[in-house]
Every structure is written in structure tokens, then in C-alpha cells.
Chain A
Amino acid sequence: MEEKEISPEESLKLIQSMIGKARRQYSDNSIFFLLWGWIVLVASLTHYYLAVYTSFEDPYIGWSLTLVGAVASAVIGAKKGKSRLVKNYMDKMYGWLWLSLGLAMFTIIFNGELVGWNTVPFILLFAGVGTAVSGAMMNFKPMQFGALAFWILSIIAFRQSENDQMLLMALGVALGYLLPGYIMKANSKKHGV
């Protein structure tokens, strides 16, 4: 591109094309969905197995994996941010959305005893909000479908025992995080985001 005078028509075309280029850029965030999808899947199934089939005293032990997840997410997020050549508002909103939801989830788990350890339905609801908004921002239908799954499972979970809630949690992340996460990963490979 040269530095030259242009006509008003050319000017408008140029503005449109440049804004279009900037808008098309979106980041492949599938790694976070896959990371958390697997962590929650393993933790909830372990919890269910230990609570139902063994006399192990601390069936929730698997949830300590979430600490690893939190550290890994922070490290991956910081690395991605550094290597990113362009910072767009969508990435910023996306980051704040999940950070706030993460804090909300932590708050409900931290105060779990006060709600009779009925934390899963709330976590499913929060995850549903996150995937619904993320899906809409990226115009990515599988994630919006995942949000619907989280919401329905949350309604069911409110009516189940703590142990059975773990199975719904596992199903929720499989449909809401892992499935859309793998589709997103495959798409970004194909289109080279």
C-alpha cells in the first residue's frame, strides 16, 4: 500500500475493508474449554465413583485438580496475551466474562456448606451463562447448544442427590465444554485462525 491521495469513494471502501479485516480476527480459545472440560469430567466422575462404590472418606479429592486448572489457565492466558499481535475488544470481554464466572463458581463452592453442598446446579447455571455469551460473541452454534444443555441439566440437578449431581456435571461439561471445544479446535485448524 502506497501513501497516495484517494477519492472519497475509495476512502470509504478502504475503511470498510480494514474494519472488516479487524473484525474477522478471533482467537482460538478451545484450549480453555478442553482443559476445564477434562478436569471437571475426571473430578466429577471420580467423586461419583468414590462416593457410591467405595467407603473413601473424601470423595471430593479429585476437585483439587481445579487448582492445577486455575494455575494452568492463568499461565496459558498470560502467554497468549503476550504473543497476540492484536488486542480486540472481544478478547477482553471474553476474558472478563470467564474471570467473573470463575469467581462466582469459586464463591458458591467456598460457601458450599451453607447451601447444603448443593453447588452443582449453580455451577451448571454459571457455565451455561458463559457458554451462551461466548457462543453468541463468536456466532458459534455448538457452544450455544452446550449452553442450553447446561441450563436443562441445572434444572434437573436441583432435584437430585449430591452424588447423582456429579453425573449431570460430567454430562454438562461433555456437551457444553468438550464437544464445542473440539469442534472449535478443528475449525481453527481448518481456517488457520
Chain B
Amino acid sequence: MAGGAASGGSSAADTYAGARNWLLMPSWVVLIVFVLAPVCMMLIYSFLTKEFRGGVIWEFSLKAYDQFFCDRGLFGDEPCAIEWTYITIFWRSIWQAGAATILSLIIGFPTAYFIATRPERTRAMWVFLITIPYWVNLLIRTVSMKFLLRDQGPLNDFLISIGLIDSPLHIINTNLAVQLGLFYSYLPFMVLPIYASVERYNFALSEAAADLYATKWTTLRRILLPAVKPGVIAGCILVFVPSLGAFLAPDLLGGAKNFMIGSLIEEQFKGNAGNWPFGAAASMILLTMVLIILLIFARQQRKAEATS
């Protein structure tokens, strides 16, 4: 309603406002069909009663949330004690996604810096090279990781052949395997935003710092990092959020002990054994958590932008 519409009166402004509303239609459709509607559906489903062969009965119930947070004993008739099973899965997911994010940052930041400091005409090529592995389907890439990491796989063969280790490392079916899988799945989402902000960085600032007796390390910490902080935060969000809900990497690389939220939700909707309201409730809880984390990041981001 701002701008052209508010100014009213002149017909040129009216035409402009009308055209603008029409041209904005596709984005409204996308927002309603792909964002608002599914979230509302999920919210509603989470308050319904489960049907035993999958699906729901249209009857209001808090059972799904109760099941998530409350342990009511074997027969389900005891007072609510805290149910740790799902909280543990959530906590593990946050931990795994956090580890994958930090791993991506450690590898992604130098990569982004490297690309941003190449001569301008070769930068596009480096960015292109980074994206090439991602032309392959995520499932196939994750299965390949499984083969790479297993006890008799190429990684262990290589480490043994160069004499670094005597017996194979058991990486597959550990937390580390899941972290590596998530890291590999989402690395470009870390590299690209950081690259964009390092490219905009004024390298004269690094020279000025060196001129004022700062070592390279101090320059990185005190000058470069604060300047590219918005890109780092964006990269961390883009890796952390999908990692939190991922189910391919934990399923294929983590084994049964390293269950994550994504797998828990996926199971609720699979075949006849699922529990739709419970899956929807877990999704809503995940969504709320992600929102809270995003809000915290967004506040950081605003602070970082206000100062640069």
C-alpha cells in the first residue's frame, strides 16, 4: 500500500500501483501455495488424532505434543514426567548440525578467501568449479561418501598405504561420519556468501592494518573478520538450518545410534507404521527452534551491518 498507491490522485500513479500489484502476483502465489499453506496444514495436523494405518482422524488432540514432551509410563496413565528420548534426538541434531557448520566454516572461509583474491577474470571459473560436484544428486553423493569412508574404503586404504595408520579407522556409523556427510552436502552454501563479502572487502584496510604494525593474524581477527561478518553469518545459517533437518546423511552414514530429527520426522510419514500428528508436531517444534535461531542470527547480522 506504500508509494504509488498512497499518493493516489494522478492516474499515472494509479496505473503504476495497479500494474505493480499484478506483477507481484507470482510471488504471492508462491508464498501462499508453498509456504503459508503447508505450514498451516502441518500446524493443523499436529493437533489431530492419529489413524493407525497412517493418516489422521479429524478430532482435536494434544496427544502428539504430549507424546513428545511427556513420559507417562508403560500404560500411558501416569502423570507427566519429562520424556528425554526426543529431546535427546533434538539435542544431538543441534550438536551434529553445529559441528558440520563449524567444519564448513573452517574449510569454507579459506576457500572463499582464496577465490575472492584470485584475478578477477578467473574468479567465475573457481566458483563454477566449486559447484560442479553439486550437479550430482544428493542421495548419490551421500551413498558415495559411505563407500569412501567405510573400513575397507579408499580413505582408509590411502591412510594405511602412506603409513599414517596401521588398522582402518572406524568412521562409518559414527557422529563424525554424519558431520562429514553434512559438511560435504552444504559446503557451497558456506563458501558462496563468504566469497561475496570478501570480494567486496577493501583490501586497503588490510594494508592499513599491516602499516600500523598488526601481524597477519591480528589483521584477520580484528579487521577482515568484522568486515565480512554478514557473509559468515549468512553462510552459517545456510549450512546449519538444512543440516538440522537433514535425514539422508544421518540415515546412510550414521546408523541406528545416530538418529537425527530429520529421520524421526521422515519415519512418521513412511508406510503404515507412521504417526502423522506426531511427525507434524515434531516438525512444528523444529520449525520453532529454527525460527528462534534465525532471529538470534538476524539480530547479530543487523548489528554487523549497522557498523560497516
Do chains A and B interact in one complex?
no
| A residues apposed to B, CB below 8 Å | none
| B residues apposed to A, CB below 8 Å | none
